[in-house]
Amino acid sequence: MPAKSLLELALAQAKSTEKMTEKQQKIVETAIQMFADKGYASTSTAEIAKAAGVAEGTIFRHFGSKENLLLSVILPFLLNAVPVVADEFIQEVLTKPFNSFESFLTTLIKNRLEFVRENKQIFKILVVELLHRDDLRGQLVSFFQKVPYQHVTVILDTCKQRGELLDLPNPVLMRTMLTQVFGYFMVRFALFPDLNWDDSLEVEQLVQVILKGIGKRD
């Protein structure tokens, strides 16, 4: 897992960019730092402006809104970061030996849960953008269909050969897993983040639900 959150990495990138004016860069750096410290929803444009030493109208003139301010940095950064994030995921999960599909699934969900928890502000915004931006969705899907997809395919084939999974096409198995896991993350971090969540129990139950759906029946 990365030592820094995506917001912290984006902040480092923003400090090194030469594509913005000094004032724009100050606004972006201040905003990302405050988003990381206080959370996106708890940070107002007025607070960003005060901390950056500019008028609030300057933010609206350059970026239009608080969301656009974040998106102007986060989306380009995310597209650049996808290969790095995917490589870390592959090394931490997809290349590890597993003695069962259940252990693989548990490791995968726990790994991504920690990643989303660390980056929940970006996750909530990214979910909205994926629904409306064909370019972003297309680039993410295209990348996943390359290296990560190949690793998951090998794992699923091995589990089917061991008699652990239903003999369904791998894309069907992956869609079933993705629907359940992504749905859990949506409810956990976007719809009802303030509930008293027991993540360990939730992961165990989610794994069992998926196993009952695609696991081989005796």
* pLDDT at residue 105 tops 70: yes
Q: Is residue 174 within 8 Å of 152, Cβ to Cβ?
A: yes
What per-residue confidence (pLDDT) applies to 82? 66
- Tell me the CATH number for domain 96-218: 1.10.357.10
* pLDDT at residue 187 tops 80: yes
Structure confidence at residue 3 as a pLDDT band (50, 70, 90): very low
24 vs 71, residue with greater confidence: 24
Work out the average pLDDT over 122-136: 75
Structure confidence at residue 70 as a pLDDT band (50, 70, 90): confident
What per-residue confidence (pLDDT) applies to 203? 96
List, by residue range, all CATH 1.10.357.10 domains of the chain.
1-77, 96-218
Which SS3 state, helix, strand or coil, does residue 19 take? coil
The CATH superfamily holding the domain 1-77 is Tetracycline Repressor, domain 2 (1.10.357.10)
* pLDDT at residue 136 tops 90: no
10 vs 87, residue with greater confidence: 87
Query: Of all residues in the chain, what percent carry a pLDDT higher than 90?
Result: 40
pTM here is 0.74
What per-residue confidence (pLDDT) applies to 50? 93
Q: How far apart are CA 8 and CA 12, in angstroms?
A: 6
Q: Which of 69, 78, 62 is nearest to 29 (CA)?
A: 69
- The secondary structure element, H or E, covering residue 41 is none
* pLDDT at residue 4 tops 60: no
What per-residue confidence (pLDDT) applies to 1? 41
Distances (CA, A) of 135 to 60, 120, 197: 25, 22, 34
DSSP designation for 94: I
